[in-house]
Amino acid sequence: MDLDVSQYKELIDVDNIFKFMKKKKDFSVFFINDFNNKIIYKILGYIPCNFKKCINYLSNQKIRESLSKDSMKFKIIEKINDKEWFELITFESKINLGPIYSIEKVVVEDDLIYNYSLDPENYKDNFTNGDKRENEFSCFKCFDIDSNKCLITVILTFDQFELGHEMYVDSTIDFLERLKNALS
* CATH number of the structural domain spanning residue 84: 3.30.530.20
Q: Does residue 127 belong to any structural domain of this protein?
A: yes
Q: Does residue 47 belong to any structural domain of this protein?
A: yes
Q: Does residue 132 belong to any structural domain of this protein?
A: yes
How many CA within 13 A on the CB side of residue 144?
9
Residue pLDDT, tens place only, 22-57: 999 999 999 999 888 899 999 999 999 999 999 999
The kind and range of the H/E element at 178 are helix 165-183
Residue pLDDT, tens place only, 129-169: 677 788 889 999 999 999 999 999 999 999 888 878 888 89
* Domain extent at residue 13: 6-183
Residues 6+ apart with CB under 8 A from 78: 85, 86, 120, 123
